[in-house]
Amino acid sequence: MGGLTAAIALSRHGFDVRVYEQSPDLGAFGAGLAITPNAVKVFGALGLQEKLREASFEPEGLIWRDSRDGTMQNHVTLIDATKRFGAPYFNSYRPDVHSILASAAPNSSIKAGRRCIGVETNNNSAGLSFEDGSSAEADVIIGCDGIRSRVRRVLFGGPDARYSGHMCWRTLVPVDALPAGFHDMNTDNWTGSDGFVLSYYVRQGRFVNVVAVRPQEHWNEESWSVPSSREEMLAGFSRMGDKAQSLLSKAGEVYKWGQFAGAPAAQWTKGRATLLGDAAHAMLATFGQGAASSFEDAYALAEWMAAHRDDYGMALNGYEAARKPRTSRLQELSRTEVRFKRLRTPVQRLRREWTYLTRFGLTTNHMYRWIYGFNPVDNWR
């Protein structure tokens, strides 16, 4: 989605853009997606915020609960998100967001079924070669090809992102399958001894998106979306409380995947090519900033390109220098937070606050203000 956002932002400045997608079609896999206020500001700048609002659900807050009895452990209110952070917070369905972006991209700019196998770049031009034998030339190449980026591997080598030791299951539960009022109006984090369950409304409140995460030592699958089952998911979270168990028991189709993350890339840019999103800074989903940071990247890159049309090298290097400090910090925050996703006692919660205060100089409230309050539209330099 970062690639589509970049295409939209660049086309607004008059650039001729092509998006090469390795899949034979543009269908996105079905999963929930938090579009946090920092990312919503990009949608606003591109004229897409109202379309996003129409397809999404606005939660009243983020709540952490002990799964055993539902006791609230922590709370971040979102009712006044626009006042506090400068934009709303939307819980969305990934295919809906993908459709909004694809519809806004320039006509005929998207070329599906093109799996990149080679990249060439110098100070004046760049080129791509594809698995089907075709090729393309461009003034600039932007590698938005995800956590296992071929563009990154060809340009810089080095290891791919590593498995984090955590497995995720995801499913959608129709609201009609739940008792009336079963789920509140918040994004709920249910903590338990064997993992945590994240649940929230999507598609204007017609479904509850559920993500269940637990430690698992090994994961060897390449796919982000391996079919699983309700029974396998329930077995992995057998010590969750009754309400979380009841929610999981209503699951329809269930998929699983391993969480991967990498260290901040030492270099994003080489000649006339650069990286964007997970290709540059893959991060865990603990703060929901993987997609959000790619939207930020896309807007910033387009602004740098527009400001330096006569020197693309300066534009790409300026973009990298401007974005890397924030994305590196987001990566470090996300890696730290995964250790605290199963907090259940006051002492554990105090230890979390102490860790963030001493390592990052941030309390929980200040941390969310730093993440959500950032305005990528005004601060792209």
Instruction: Give the per-residue pLDDT at 250.
Output: 95
Residues 81 and 131 reside in one and the same domain? no
CA distance 128 to 122: 12
Cα gap 151→271, rounded to integer Å: 13
Question: Is 329 inside any structural domain?
Answer: yes
Q: Which two tokens stand for residue 135?
A: 């090729």
Structural domain ending residue among the three candidates 261, 290, 311: 261
- For position 297, what pLDDT does the model report? 98
pLDDT (0 to 100) of residue 329: 93
339 occurs within a structural domain: yes
Which domain covers residue 370, as residue numbers? 346-374
- Choosing from 214, 241, 261, the residue where a domain stops is 261
Q: How many domains does the chain contain in total?
A: 3
Strand partners, 226: 256
Same domain, 243 and 153: no
Q: Do 172 and 246 lie in a common domain? A: yes
Burial (CB count within 10 angstroms: exposed 0-12, middle 13-18, buried 19+), residue 153: middle
CATH number of domain containing 136 = 3.50.50.60
Q: Are residues 98 and 190 in the same domain?
A: yes
| pTM of the predicted model as reported, rounded to 2 decimal places | 0.93
44 domain residue, yes or no = no
Claim to verify: residue 92 and residue 219 sit in the same structural domain: yes
Q: Is 249 in the same domain as 274? A: no
Residues 298 and 322 placed together within one structural domain of the fold: yes
39 part of a folded domain: no
**Radius of gyration (Cα) for the chain, nearest Å?**
21
98 and 171 assigned to the same domain:
yes
In a domain, 42, yes or no: no
The pLDDT of residue 223: 67
Decide which of 213, 243, 261 is a domain's last residue.
Answer: 261
Distance CA 219, CA 167 (A): 8
> Is there a single domain that holds both residue 78 and residue 172?
yes
In this structure, is residue 30 part of a structural domain? no
Q: What is the pLDDT along the chain (381 residues), one digit of tens a residue?
A: 899 999 999 999 999 999 998 887 766 667 899 999 999 999 999 999 999 999 999 999 999 898 888 888 888 999 999 999 999 999 999 999 999 999 999 877 888 889 999 999 987 889 999 999 999 999 999 999 988 889 999 999 877 778 888 889 999 999 999 999 999 999 999 987 778 899 999 999 999 999 999 888 887 776 667 999 999 999 999 888 899 999 999 998 999 988 887 777 789 999 999 999 999 998 888 888 999 999 999 999 999 999 999 999 999 999 999 999 999 999 988 888 777 666 667 777 788 888 888 888 888 888 999 999 999 999 999
Q: Is residue 130 part of a domain?
A: yes
259-295 as b/e: b if 16+ CB within 10 A: bbbbebbeebbbbbbbbbbbbbbbbbbbbbbbbbbbb
Residue 290 covered by a domain:
yes
Tell me how far apart the 2 most distant CA atoms of the chain are, in Å: 62
CATH of the domain at 233: 3.30.9.30
Same-domain pairing of 92 and 130: no
The predicted pLDDT at position 194 comes to 78
Under 8 Å between Cβ of 96 and 102: no
257 and 133 share a domain? no
Beta-strand relationship, 32-35 and 162-174: unpaired
* pLDDT score of 62: 95
**Do 185 and 233 reside in the same domain of the chain?**
yes
